[in-house]
Amino acid sequence: MKFEIVEFQTIDRNFVSEIIWGWWSRVYEYPLVINKISQFFNTDLIEIHNTSWGFGPQHIIFKWLLEKKFKAIVNSDINHSNQPNTIIYDILRPPAPEFLEKFSIVLNISTIEELSPELQITAFKNLLAMTCKGGLIIATFDIPGINMESFESLFRMKFTVTSSPITGINSIFPDYRFKDLRCGYFVVKRIE
């Protein structure tokens, strides 16, 4: 599977933010993801896989927003959910055959860094396997947490730190428990 890196950088405090998401990083991450989808695809007829989608109130609202805005969404997580339109899928496992090269967009919001460093690239490759040619992976992650050295090596690109990366302190929704965290993202396009 061949891919190219479209973006690989910190999420900046100057990015669009929406306080309604009620979490220091989500107030930036969710608007970023919606904007990126719209930037690269100007149709609602794309197939999206929202992996590791979560179970909190803001996760459910984001799931509903995606389902309202786009026509073909699959939401998956490692655990069962009673929410409609959800399936069980572990990003550390190869995707089912019917999901191979299927999706225009594969999302992973702030989960990869929760995996052990040696398994993060495995998860990335599984996400890429579900992305169709010309499709994108859009992922966000906390720093530290992501195995930056491994991703920089795989991507053959240094991670870009913007002039004002968000932290738990400078977010429009500050949370001092996360004062030492920053948040980043990548957009990767599958080319073969």
Is the pLDDT at 44 greater than 90? The verdict is: no
- Decide: 185 and 140 in contact? Cβ < 8 Å: yes
Q: Which residues make Cβ contacts (< 8 Å) with residue 46, sequence separation at least 6?
A: 37, 70, 71, 72, 104, 105
Q: What is the CA radius of gyration of the chain?
A: 16
- Domains of the chain (ranges, CATH numbers): 3-190 (3.40.50.150)
pLDDT score, position 55? 87
The arrangement of strands across the sheet holding 182-190 comes to 3-10, 182-190, 131-143, 103-109, 47-51, 72-77, 86-88
Contact at 8 Å (CB) between 8 and 159? Answer: yes
| CA distances from residue 171 to 33, 97, 129 in whole angstroms, order as listed | 17, 41, 34
> In the structure encoding, which two tokens stand for residue 176, read together?
């001092």
Mean pLDDT score, 34-48: 91
Q: Which residue has the tokens 């993202």?
A: 185
What are 66-87's pLDDT values in tens digits? 999 998 999 999 999 999 999 9
Q: What is the pLDDT of residue 43?
A: 81
To the nearest 10°, report the CA torsion of 14, 67, 102, 108: 40
Q: E strands within 52-102?
A: 72-77, 86-88
Q: Tell me how many degrees the CA angle 13-77-179 measures, rounded to the nearest 5.
A: 30
What is the SS3 assignment for 143?
A: strand
At 124-160, the pLDDT tens digits run 999 999 999 999 999 999 999 999 999 999 999 999 9
Share of the chain above pLDDT 90, in %: 94
